[in-house]
Amino acid sequence: MPAKRAGLKSKLIRTMILVGTLPLLLAMGISYVQGTKSLMGVIGSSFQALAYETASKIDFIVREELLRNQRMASHPTLVLTVNEHNRGFENIELDHLPPDIEEARQLWEGSQNAESRILTNSANRVLRSFHSGQGTSNPATRAIFVTDRKGVLVASVDHYPEFFNHQNSIWKKAIGGESNFYIGKLHRDPKLEEYIIEIAIPIRHSSKEVIGVFHRLFAAKAFFSASIEPIIFGETGHVMLINAKGVVIDCPILPTGFQLSDPELVHAVTGPKAAWVETQGNGHDGSQELSIIGFAPLLQTNQITRASTNGEWYTFAWQSSEELFASTQKLFLWISAAGLVSILLIILMGSFASDRIVKPIRLVQRTAAAIGKGKEIQPLTISTGDEIESLAKEINTMYNMIRLSFSDLEEKVREKTREVMFLKEYTDSILMSVPDIILILGEDLKIEFANAAFEKLAGVPEKTVLGKSLEALAPDYKATWATLAGELQNFVEGLTHHISYNPPPSAYQARDPLAPQAQDASLENKYTVTFGGRHFAYRFFDVAIKADEKRRVGLLLQEITEQKGLQEQLMMAEKLSGLGTLAAGIAH
């Protein structure tokens, strides 16, 4: 069974959908990619700007705090007290302390340190006054103290510091360096049990010589939280402060001192200038999903931290990907919905447009089919203003021309039909009027025609013998018809030629009147047959029809009963004449 062909309408709709959908999907895809890329660029730039502004703010706060503490380190009372302390320890080795110094150390480290002069001297009173002031960093302060050029404690606002501080790395930097400010590493202090950042400022004599160090310890989270933790956007968006090794200094979510585990992430967000990056992971929840992070170095503060500990600080702006890309996903959903609606509109419009195209074509198709079947049609009336309208006009013109041609052709066909019918009737009349029996046999040797003379001989209508072989005719003369069938087969196979019983006339020759003519009798018997006492001479002949290549054979049966009787009478007369002649001769 042949496959059902798709209709023109469905093909047009599919084509319209294909032509309309592919560019639409391509445009939607490009728009989504470009929109996402642009959105990520905007988000990244926003995070970068936020990180940069926060870094600048922290730079300013740190700078102001350092300058404020530098002014405190230049206080005359502190300078004078440290200078006098240095003179008292000028010739003292720390490994061999004199009794009074050893007593002072033990008093500081013992349970009666409150009675130590370190907490009661003039420098201490200056430090306490400074600590109790209105500074914003005071709540984050964990210790303020002063050491001399050998690291020996000179004054302190509390009993936190050690008596000897010459092993302190930041003290070593400050006492031997040329910078005005030093910032120590973020570390967890075992006494305070929190992460501490220490600043150290050289105390200089009027000659600019470093005579001691001003120390101040801050709780890292408490110091930076006022500048960082209020910066919250969305549910997860925030800014945090980390160092170059990825250790958190302050973050609204992660604890201070937390180590970011992904070194690639740390490397990506600790560049030399403010930027934003796309990373796999965010350092917060351990996931490897795409994240956008803006970062910025603390340019001014890093100059101090590099000189102090060879470290750097960075701000880090981040928001969870799920929240961050919610707008992107919403954009994708809107684009998908718009695309689906557009495809549905394309299908509806395609169906409407295909109807306008297909309906006239179907009308033209039905009209052409009707013309092909020879039916009468009404002229096509199509007003589409395009090639279909032109085609309809051509079909109308063609139909009119065909109708005219068919009118002439039908008249000629009728005339030719009348001629053929006349010739057929004329021929049939002739064949039917012939007194001799005529049979026409087809290629399969079955009777195709029999004339009226045969009906008289066989006594059956012509129609009853059509399609039969000679053997099947007239059972009363079965042997005779079988003989003719055999002769017919010989004729068809070429074993005999056209035969007939027409003895040629000849001149009279003297002969024995009593001698029989055996040869003539043989010829007579060979080409004649007998039907119930009636004698017939027969003849086979080919029937040639130009329009049909099939071979047909004709059989002609001519009754010779009367001829045969006359011939016998003639032979009898000849015999009697011969006897008379013979008798006359004998009598003579």
Residue where a domain terminates, one of 203, 225, 247? 225
DSSP 140: G
Q: What is the DSSP string of 480-495?
A: HHHHHHHHHHHHHTTS
Residue where a domain terminates, one of 225, 250, 275? 225
Residue where a domain terminates, one of 195, 225, 255? 225
What pLDDT was estimated at residue 3?
52
The interaxial angle of helices 220-228 and 8-73, nearest 10 deg, is 130
486 within domain boundaries: yes
What predicted TM-score, i.e. pTM, was given to this entire model?
A: 0.59
499 within domain boundaries: yes
Q: How many domains does the chain have?
A: 2
258 within domain boundaries: no
CA 329 to chain centre: 22
Cβ neighbors of 546 (< 8 A, separation 6 or more) are none
What pLDDT was estimated at residue 313?
96
Q: Which residue has the tokens 């005529």?
A: 438
554 within domain boundaries: yes
What pLDDT was estimated at residue 481?
83
CA-based R_g, the chain, Å: 68
Q: Is 248 exposed, middle or buried (0-12, 13-18, 19+ CB in 10 A)?
A: buried
What pLDDT was estimated at residue 415?
84
Enumerate the β-bridge partners of residue 250: 241
DSSP 96: B
Identify the CATH number of the domain in which residue 442 sits: 3.30.450.20
Looking at 74-163, list the stretches that DSSP marks H as alpha helix, in order from N- to C-terminal side. 76-88, 99-109, 122-131
Cβ neighbors of 219 (< 8 A, separation 6 or more) are 140, 142, 192, 194, 195, 196
DSSP 357: H
Cα dihedral 411, 414, 417, 421 sign: negative
What pLDDT was estimated at residue 503?
46
Q: Which domain holds residue 578?
A: 434-503+514-587
Q: In Å, what is the CA distance from 156 to each residue of 78, 257, 268, 413? A: 11, 27, 42, 137
240 within domain boundaries: no
75-129 pLDDT, tens per residue?
999 999 999 988 888 777 776 777 777 777 788 877 555 556 778 888 989 999 9
551 within domain boundaries: yes
**Residue stretches of the chain with pLDDT short of 70:** 1-9, 95, 111-116, 474-475, 495-526, 546-548, 587-588
What pLDDT was estimated at residue 508?
40
341 within domain boundaries: no
Q: Which helix (H) or strand (E) holds 558?
A: strand 552-559
